[in-house]
Amino acid sequence: MRLKPKQQLDLKALKVWRIVAILEWLFFFLILITYGILIKYLTFPVWPIYLILLGVLLIGYFKIFLVPKLQWEKWSYEIYENEVELMYGILVVRRVIIPMIRVQHVDTKQGPILRHYGLSTVTISTAATVHEIPGLEEEKADELRDYIAQLAREADPNE
């Protein structure tokens, strides 16, 4: 039986995921505000606003506090000479093995929030899909990108 991958994401990834969750949660908060405005100007019943408020608060708790922590705890990866192994997920845990021979190209990317925290995401492209290792310290992500690219070149029988 294969051991679980040991490499963890940077702890700052948890902060980034929480900030993104807050920004997404603001959308639900806007629904609450919109309904409040409708109550004021139209003859909408008042009682649904309490249900909407409860829903918005519950969504906020799960999206901001619970889900990012569970995601961060479950995320791990390992780079081997012949493959990349990713393990992630909360309810459904995915364990992905990417053979180096299938890797077409490797990239790093950063949005403004990741950049602010000095983090990057490594993307590994195959013919079928793109896999990501999110929330790595910028320098580590660059080293990992170069290392995977080198291993993929060495695994390619055409070169």
Phi, psi of 33 (to 5 degrees): -65, -45
String of DSSP letters for the chain: -PPPP-EE--THHHHHHHHHHHHHHHHHHHHHHHHHHHHHHS---STHHHHHHHHHHHHHIIIIIIHHHHHHHH-EEEE-SSEEEEEE-SSS-EEEEEEGGG--EEEEE--HHHHHTTEEEEEEE-SS-EEEEEEEEHHHHHHHHHHHHHHHHHH-TT-
Q: What is the pLDDT of residues 116-126, one digit of tens each?
A: 999 999 999 99
Q: What is the pLDDT of residues 13-31, one digit of tens each?
A: 999 999 999 999 998 888 8
Q: What is the pLDDT of residues 83-109, one digit of tens each?
A: 999 999 999 999 999 999 999 999 999
Residue among 109, 159, 102 nearest 138 (CA) = 109
Three-state DSSP at 107 gives: strand
